[in-house]
Amino acid sequence: MSDDLCPECATPTISERSAEPWCPSCEWNLDRFDPEHGRHLGWARVDRRLYRAAYWLTARQFAELAGGPAAGASKSAARLVTIAASALLLAGEVALVVLGVWLLLKDFFSPVNILGVLVLAVAVVLRPRLGRLRDLTAEATEVDRGTAPALFGLIERVAAATGAPMPDVVLMGAEQNAYTVTVGLRRRRVLYLGAPLWAVLDPQERVALVGHELGHFVNGDVRRGLLTQSARSTLGQVAYLLTPDRGGDLVAQIVEFVGWVFSRLALGFQLLLLWTSLRDSQRAEYLADELAAKAGGSAATIRLLDSFLITDAVDTVVRREARAKQGAEAWRAAAGVARTRLEPQVAAMRQLSRRTDVSLFASHPPAGLRAALTATRPEQPAAVVLPETDSARIDEELAAHYERARRELATA
Ligand SMILES: [Zn+2]
Ligand SMILES: [Zn+2]
């Protein structure tokens, strides 16, 4: 708490984590640009503008969804634009390869051949990627169906309740995260559960998490389509190249070069596409949350989303326990203590997440808005109830996976 009053409504302003204060009541100053989180292009004035646009788009999307009925996998404008543009983009990629080869072979042994090599290098950097299971299993281990019947039973029940297909592969790793992807030309569905996240959730939160993740298989997520996924990977490379934190001078040079080859206009076009497809991704997250609530119940979904606000704190205590050679039970206990301790701050952190997590480059809406949207919907009972005993059985089945993750967490 700070002693200052909101200039708009005279409510005392608040702050969390040394952020610039805002008004908890009318949200004055909540949309303040924070260079620490909003730095993308490294050009303060542009970044500030982009942030403003992102804040506005995020708020508008939330208002639309909150005002309407629970949406299905409908055809949003962002989605249609993304699909059309993906086709164009892949055509551009092919054109780039053709141009590169032509320049390479034209008047062989002339300086223009070097240009051909550079164009081909850019084409390689921007090449579409469908993902490979092999890349995922390098960081995670497959959970065997035979040794984890309770876990697979749960996933089956959630799949039935949400109308989603079963994943082909279930992976567990040491990331404090969970995701689904569809990989390769065979479009294999993968569900990844990170041990440090999974282990600390209560039974219904686990149901909600699986519901959310499987929801991505049926919410029309543009990240999962063959065409859009490959185009997105190209767009992702553009964003990656444009993120100054990741590269420095070399990146600046490549960006300059890409801009020179494509012209500034084409680059701007690609950025617009990235932002459009990410808008649709954010929408897909809200839709997946609807399925989370359907499967695990609204209350558990909100608890799950609120836990995403304090992942840093949970990560700290889980690593501490892992280093002390403590297993999943201790992680959950320690995370529970952290969650209880931070409970009074949750409302403020939900608000603050809207300042810190808003970005044109973000694939997820701010966790605070996701919780808020679930809370505005009529309360849903859990379609799938996971009894404590079954949840404990799942933990027993995953013991070897937890131990592998524990060792990784302890050394990292
Ligand atoms: Zn105020
Ligand atoms: Zn998601």
pLDDT tens-place string over residues 353-391? 998 888 888 889 999 999 999 999 999 999 999 999 999
The CA 34 to ligand 1 mean position distance, Å, reads: 19
Nearest-ligand number for the alpha carbon of 177: 2
Question: What is the pTM (predicted TM-score) of this model?
Answer: 0.83
The CA 212 to ligand 2 mean position distance, Å, reads: 6
Cα 88 to Cα 82: distance, rounded to the nearest angstrom: 10
The CA 366 to ligand 1 mean position distance, Å, reads: 21
Predicted confidence at residue 350, as pLDDT, reads 94
Q: pLDDT-based confidence at 238, cuts 50/70/90?
A: low
- Does residue 347 or residue 266 have the better pLDDT? 347
Predicted confidence at residue 246, as pLDDT, reads 46
Identify whether the C-beta of residue 302 lies closer than 8 Å to the C-beta of residue 208.
no
DSSP secondary structure, 7-29, as one string = TTT-PBPB-STTPPPB-TTT-TT
Identify whether the C-beta of residue 13 lies closer than 8 Å to the C-beta of residue 2.
yes
The CA 213 to ligand 2 mean position distance, Å, reads: 6
Phi, psi of 203 (to 5 degrees): -55, -50
Output the six-digit token pair for 320: 């501490």
Identify whether the C-beta of residue 11 lies closer than 8 Å to the C-beta of residue 27.
no
Q: pLDDT-based confidence at 73, cuts 50/70/90?
A: very low
DSSP secondary structure, 86-128, as one string = HHHHHHHHHHHHHHHHHHHHTTSSSHHHHHHHHHHHHHHHT--
CB under 5 Å of ion ligand 1: residues:
6, 8-9, 11, 23, 25-26, 28
Predicted confidence at residue 248, as pLDDT, reads 53
Nearest-ligand number for the alpha carbon of 14: 1
All residues at 6 or more sequence positions from 240 whose CB lies less than 8 Å from its CB, including other chains: 246
Tell me what the mean pLDDT of segment 61-67 comes to: 89
The CA 293 to ligand 2 mean position distance, Å, reads: 13
pLDDT at residue 271 tops 80: no
Predicted confidence at residue 252, as pLDDT, reads 65
Selection from 61, 162, 158, 163 nearest residue 373 by Cα: 61
pLDDT at residue 208 tops 60: yes
Predicted confidence at residue 399, as pLDDT, reads 97
pLDDT at residue 243 tops 70: no
Q: pLDDT-based confidence at 81, cuts 50/70/90?
A: confident
Nearest-ligand number for the alpha carbon of 305: 2
Output the CA–CA distances (angstroms, integers) from residue 33 to 44, 45, 48, in the order listed: 10, 11, 6
pLDDT at residue 295 tops 90: yes
Nearest-ligand number for the alpha carbon of 364: 2
The CA 409 to ligand 2 mean position distance, Å, reads: 24
pLDDT at residue 289 tops 90: yes
The CA 112 to ligand 2 mean position distance, Å, reads: 46
The CA 261 to ligand 2 mean position distance, Å, reads: 35
Secondary structure letter of residue 169 according to DSSP: E
Nearest-ligand number for the alpha carbon of 370: 2
Selection from 31, 56, 54, 38 nearest residue 360 by Cα: 54
Output the six-digit token pair for 331: 């992680």
pLDDT at residue 1 tops 50: no
pLDDT tens by residue, 84-125: 877 887 888 899 899 999 999 888 888 888 888 888 888 887
The CA 139 to ligand 2 mean position distance, Å, reads: 19
Output the six-digit token pair for 234: 């190209």
pLDDT at residue 258 tops 70: no
All residues at 6 or more sequence positions from 398 whose CB lies less than 8 Å from its CB, including other chains: 143, 148, 151, 172, 195, 198, 199, 328
Q: 3-7, 18-22, 181-185, 242-246: which range is least confident on average?
A: 242-246
The CA 216 to ligand 1 mean position distance, Å, reads: 37
